[in-house]
């Protein structure tokens, strides 16, 4: 990919355990592989995430010890009194990864975070707002830090990048919305150009076929393949 404002490029990560066929399509399109642990892993793991609503530290750390991903999230920092627990998670995770992703959600808390824990670099995670969750902090609070964008739609991730690239290094983004949309209705992502479709970002394969219905058992995989290619191209154009 081309470089961002600080001379480095964001890494695209497809994050979803199981589903080996989807994972292979994403990898073939140039994505790194990520998954929420514990889960079934079919490829070398680049990024590990955990269930921030129901954290299971023992199982998660066992997964990190087994797979040694490049980067991994730890317990979200949601309240003031959690910082010691978050850093304790981070110290344990740092034994197995190159980068520890801390997701700060406490106003004014970021200056209290270290830039390294052991030999691991600390990266700040920004959870792109969705119905599932999101980071309540303003984007400017992340200035000067390496940032990883967690989840959200591709277009919302790109909006965040446009702001953060002026003051931070957005080193990586992850997501699996394009898998959800492919399985939901054979929808695939385009960069706002599908003005003929119900949603200009998510036309269906039928929309792309002039309204003619398509038949076949693997249409969701075709929709996902198109999304992977289109998302990657959009990032390349955005970062130019």
Tell me the per-residue pLDDT of 23-40, one tens digit each, with 9 for 90 and over.
Answer: 999 999 999 999 999 888
Q: What is the mean pLDDT of the chain?
A: 92
What pLDDT score does 3 carry? Answer: 41
Which residues make beta-bridge pairs with 172? 11, 148
What pLDDT score does 130 carry? Answer: 80
Percent of the chain having pLDDT more than 70?
Answer: 95
CA separation for the pair 65, 62 (Å, rounded): 5
Percent of the chain having pLDDT more than 90?
Answer: 80
The 10s digit of each residue's pLDDT in 124-147 is 999 998 876 788 899 999 999 999
Structural domains of the chain sorted by starting position, each given as residue range(s) with its CATH number in brackets? 1-175 (3.20.20), 177-240 (no CATH)
- Residue 107 pLDDT > 60, yes or no? yes
- Residue 2 pLDDT > 50, yes or no? no
**Local confidence band at 9 (pLDDT 50, 70, 90 cut-offs):** low
- Residue 1 pLDDT > 60, yes or no? no
What pLDDT score does 214 carry? Answer: 82
CA separation for the pair 48, 67 (Å, rounded): 9
**Local confidence band at 5 (pLDDT 50, 70, 90 cut-offs):** very low
Q: What Å distances lie between residue 146 and 88, 191, 200, 237, 239, CA to CA?
A: 21, 26, 31, 21, 16
**Local confidence band at 17 (pLDDT 50, 70, 90 cut-offs):** confident
The 10s digit of each residue's pLDDT in 202-240 is 999 999 988 888 888 899 999 999 999 999 999 999 988
**Local confidence band at 94 (pLDDT 50, 70, 90 cut-offs):** very high
What pLDDT score does 217 carry? Answer: 85
């Amino acid at each position: 990919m081309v470089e961002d404002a600080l001379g480095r490029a964001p890494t695209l990560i497809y994050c979803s355990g199981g589903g080996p066929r989807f994972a292979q399509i994403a990898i073939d399109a140039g994505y790194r592989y990520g998954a929420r642990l514990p889960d079934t892993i079919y490829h070398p793991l680049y990024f590990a995430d955990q269930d921030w609503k129901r954290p299971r530290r023992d199982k998660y750390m066992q997964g990190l010890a087994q797979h040694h991903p490049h980067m991994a999230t730890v317990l979200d920092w949601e309240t003031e009194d959690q910082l010691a627990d978050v850093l304790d998670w981070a110290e344990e995770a740092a034994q197995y990864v190159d980068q520890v992703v801390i997701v700060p959600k406490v106003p004014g808390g970021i200056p209290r975070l270290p830039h390294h824990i052991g030999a691991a670099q600390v990266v700040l995670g920004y959870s792109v707002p969705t119905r599932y969750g999101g980071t309540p902090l303003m984007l400017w609070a992340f200035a000067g830090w390496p940032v990883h964008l967690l989840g959200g739609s591709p277009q919302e991730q790109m909006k965040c990048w446009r702001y953060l690239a002026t003051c931070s290094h957005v080193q990586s983004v992850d997501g699996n919305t394009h898998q959800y949309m492919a399985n939901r209705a054979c929808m695939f992502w385009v960069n706002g150009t599908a003005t003929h479709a119900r949603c200009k970002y998510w036309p269906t394969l039928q929309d792309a076929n002039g309204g003619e219905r398509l038949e076949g058992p693997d249409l969701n995989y075709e929709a996902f393949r198109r999304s992977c290619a289109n998302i990657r191209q959009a990032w390349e154009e955005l970062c130019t």
